[in-house]
Structure 1
Amino acid sequence: MTSIAVIGAGITGITTAYKLMKQGLDVTVFDRNGYAAMETSFANGGQLSASNAEVWNSPATFIKGLKWMLRKDAPLLVHPAPTWHKLSWMAEFVLAARNYEANTIATVKLAIAARQHLIDMAEAEGFDFDLEKRGILHVYESKAEFEHAERVSALYRKGGLERRSLTNAEIHAIEPALAGDFYGGFFTESDFTGDIHRYTRGLAEACARQGVTFRYDTAITGLSRGADGVTVAFGGADGLAAQAARFDAVVICAGVESRRFAAMLGDRLNIYPVKGYSITVQLHDAASRQGAPWVSLLDDKAKIVTSRLGEDRLRIAGTAEFAGYNRDIRMDRIRPLVDWCRMRFPGVSTAASVPWAGLRPMMPDMLPRVGRGKAKGVYYNTGHGHLGWTLSAITADTIAAEVAGDYRAKAVSGALPSVDAIRAEAERKAA
């Protein structure tokens, strides 16, 4: 049986392992943590949101980033200390603005294709992940923000997504708990939310039951490609002696560490770690449970999202910080999330709020890298940025079909179009 190593046990790695296993391949997953979903897949915003598929490469984002550089509580914070990695990434990020429309359309197509895959896997394996199919509500305080959203909606329609424009009264009718007056909003009924950590752990358990091998607490020390396959060198996180194992192929799903692993295999993968923050508000009292929203939100001005995770938890997430591989939780970045909760949902007590920070693996063009590397047997499914939860199911299906097709020497029946094919089609239509 063809053996495949998957590097990384976050949402992308676990969905990839599951899809590879379903293709009849022998799969081993490596992760340096003791469990699945312990880094960027631990406590994100919870949204599965085709309606948040707009890429960030636009002049408006560039201008806002410059204005916010000196504000510690800014939604987008770029630390001025230069590194070659940051400078090269920023240069490519700016250049990708020429494909803003095409990449936004391509992303929304992927997000729509991913929806049913993700739900189907959970239903097939019988695990719960606090799924809420109540749509996602985007709100805008100013006319300028709303008019920009109208232009984005036109791009979304080209990608197959419809969302409904709302007045202030209609916003409050959809989510009565929300405080404040808004110029307008958009509602995407087809979007939904869930707990990424519960989902990833549930799917990992399903993989283990069906024969996938997991090597947790295992740090990868080397990757190399030879005539007989890919060699994975590793050592235990507790200081065990170095070991090595040979596989027919490897799929890199290692988030922000994918850049380092790609270099070992002769590929350039310019992923930059963009830190995001969240708080999980524990709704311990009846007033807080009643005062918290059930409909997921995105406040455009604050760049903050919410998801209700069952009766007793509210996830609030946001901000983007370019600070390298620093994983520290900064309270000056957490405080705006707490303050926003108290302003928008005054009935919710924030006395019990758990802070978290994670590093989003972001490519300069905001699209994931899904496909073959230079060497035979090397594949990538990584770089999903702020949409890893949203896109993981479709990119996992795509890469698993590609790997299985290569090692069966024939195309896999029913394989979906590749990410590159979707992007090429979007660029053609946008031209």
Structure 2
Amino acid sequence: MRKIAVIGAGITGITTAYALLNRGFEVTVFDKNRYAAMETSFANGGQLSASNAEVWTQWSTIFKGIKWMTQRGAPLLVNPKPSWHKYSWMAEFMSNIPNYKANTIETVQLAISARDLLRGHAAAEGFDFDLEQRGILHVYDCKPDFDKAAKVNDLLAEGGLERHAVTPSEMQKIEPALQGDLYGGYYTESDFTGDIHSYAKGLGAACKRRGVVFHYGAQVASLTKHSTGVDVGWSDKSGKVSDHFDGIVICAGVRSRDLAAQVGDRVNIYPVKGYSITVQMDDDASRGAAPWVSLLDDKAKIVTSRLGPNKFRVAGTAEFNGYNKDIRDDRIAPLVKWVENLFPDISTEHAIPWAGLRPMMPNMMPRVGAGRSPQVFYNTGHGHLGWTLSAATAEIVADNILQASQKNSFQFAG
């Protein structure tokens, strides 16, 4: 048998387990939570958005961060409290600004390939995740922002994505519920939305049916390399446990940095907090007023998804504030206000707030592939695009492991 341990049962861990399973590996998944996708993969914006693949490594991001530092409700907020990890990460972020174009194009290409894989997995395994294939509409309220989006559109096109400009009247036809004084937009018909938590649960259940072993409520405490594999030590309700695996894949979100250090790798992930609200629409007026087409307001950095008839997900903001998952009212309030301004007939009486930590690399690219040890692999650091990219990067890392096994780069048990 070829035993592989996957550390983490978020969207990247579950898709990785599925990709390994389909290549004939014996897979065991560990997660500290009782269920799949309970952290960053729990309540994100819902967009599977190749059209949002532009990386953040630009000087404009730096300038906006400085400008917004004192505005508690700003789309990007940086806690100025000194932190070596935070400021060294930011320095590395700035060093990647020259790679902005190449990384954006590569991200688009990954996103396009991931979309078909995600839909294909759900169809093959027969589970629902509130899929809405109605495209994504980027909206702009002024000419300068619209013109800037035209330049981004050229990069998206280089990556193979078709996204076209639309007038306010065309926007109204695409999404009749859209209100407000808008200058124009860009529409990506091939993008779509879905519930990431439902997807991870559905694919995880399919993996379990087909033989993947899941250890939930298992806190992985130690990773010990050997010439023949890796010992994984964890604790659960039965106590401390250890097992030997031929290889491991670290898909542990913001904890990946610490786990990587145990096996001699530097994976410079920083936790960038994002917020969302899930508006429970219990009345006909709200359901009728909410958009079905997914929206992205570039200025406010807010995205929306319709998750079935009764739920409207609104997400956004980025907060550099360490490993802090506190839900702050001053970060939730702009999301609620945005809904009330653009869709005044939606009742926000029952808006459930959430915050999660995006695992973000300073080059804005996921860490995918082998580590320094031939027994250690990574599929982590996807930042705000884990839902969008996970299925593609899972295939890449699973192929890497298969190739390594075929070349006898590391020994398998049995």
Aligned partner of 2:412 in structure 1 is none
Aligned length: 409
TM alignment of 1:254-403, pairs within 5 A = 254-403=252-401
Distance in 1, matches of 2:326 and 2:319, equals 11
Alignment partner of 1:114: what SS? Answer: helix
Give the root-mean-square deviation of aligned CA atoms.
1.0
Counterpart-to-counterpart distance in 2, 1:91 and 1:206: 42
Measured in 1, the distance between the counterparts of 2:171 and 2:218 equals 48
- Residue type of the partner of 1:269? V
Aligned partner of 1:86 in structure 2 is 86
TM-score of the superposed pair, with normalisation by structure 1: 0.94
Residues 203-257 of structure 1 deviation map (CA, whole Å, 9 limit, x = unaligned): 0000000000000000011001102210001111x4x432211000000000000
Measure the CA separation in 1 of the matches of 2:144 and 2:60: 11
Is there any run of 5+ residues in structure 1 with no aligned partner, and where?
Answer: 412-431
Paired position in structure 2 for 1:421: none
Cα deviation, residue 13, structure 1: 0.0
Distance 1:205 1:273 in 2: 28
Q: Does 1:193 align with 2:193?
A: yes
Q: Secondary structure at the match of 2:35?
A: coil
- CA offset digits 1:9-29 (Å, max 9, x no partner): 000000000010110000000
Mapped to 1, the partners of 2:104 and 2:393 lie a distance apart of 16
CA–CA distance in structure 1, aligned partners of residues 254 and 383 of structure 2: 9
Asked if 1:48 corresponds to 2:19, the answer is: no
Q: Give 1:73-152 correspondences, 5 Å limit.
A: 73-152=73-152
Helix, strand or coil: the match of 1:364?
A: coil
Structure-2 residue corresponding to 1:420: none
CA distance in 2, matches of 1:363, 1:227: 29
Deviation at 1:410, TM superposition (A): 8.3
Q: Distance in 1 between matches of 2:210 and 2:344?
A: 47
1:404 counterpart SS class: helix
- The alpha-carbon deviation at position 408 of structure 1 amounts to 2.3
For 1:135 and 1:33, how far apart are their aligned partners in 2? 33
Please, what TM-score do these two structures have when normalized by structure 2? 0.98
- Report the counterpart of residue 226 of structure 1 in structure 2: 226
In structure 2, how many angstroms separate the alpha carbons of the residues matched to 1:55 and 1:227?
38
Q: What secondary structure sits across from 2:267 in the alignment? A: coil
Secondary structure of 1:348's aligned partner: coil
Aligned residue identity for 1:97: I
Partners of 2:59 and 2:186 lie apart in 1 by: 23
1:57 matches 2:69 = no
> CA-to-partner distance for each residue in 1:110-166, whole Å, 9 max, x for gaps?
101111111000000000000000000000111111111000000011100111101
Q: How does 1:230-245 map to 2 (within 5 A)?
A: 230-236=230-236, 238=237, 240-245=238-243
Q: Deviations over 1:331-373 (max 9, x none)?
A: 1100100000000111100011110000000000100010100
User: How far did 1:409 drift?
Assistant: 2.4
| Displacement after TM superposition at 1:381 (Å) | 0.4
Aligned equivalents of 2:177, 2:79: Cα separation in 1: 36
Identical amino acids, percent of aligned pairs: 62
In structure 2, distance between residues paired with 1:172 and 1:410: 58
Which residue identity lines up with residue 291 of structure 1 in the other structure? A
Question: Which residue pairs with 2:246 in the alignment?
Answer: 248
SS at structure 2 position matched to 1:190: coil
**What is the alpha-carbon distance in structure 2 between the residues aligned to residue 38 and residue 269 of structure 1?**
22
Task: Tell me how far apart the structure 1 counterparts of residues 332 and 364 of structure 2 sit (CA, whole Å).
Answer: 25
- Give the AA of the match of 1:370: V
Matched, 1:155 2:119: no
- Aligned to 2:66, what secondary structure does the other structure show? helix
Q: Which deviations, in whole Å up to 9, do the C-alpha atoms of 1:349-404 show, x marking residues without a partner?
A: 00111100000000001000101000111000000000000000000011111111
After TM superposition, the structure 1 stretch with the greater mean CA deviation from structure 2, 116-125 or 221-230, is 221-230
In structure 2, runs of 5+ residues without a counterpart are 410-414
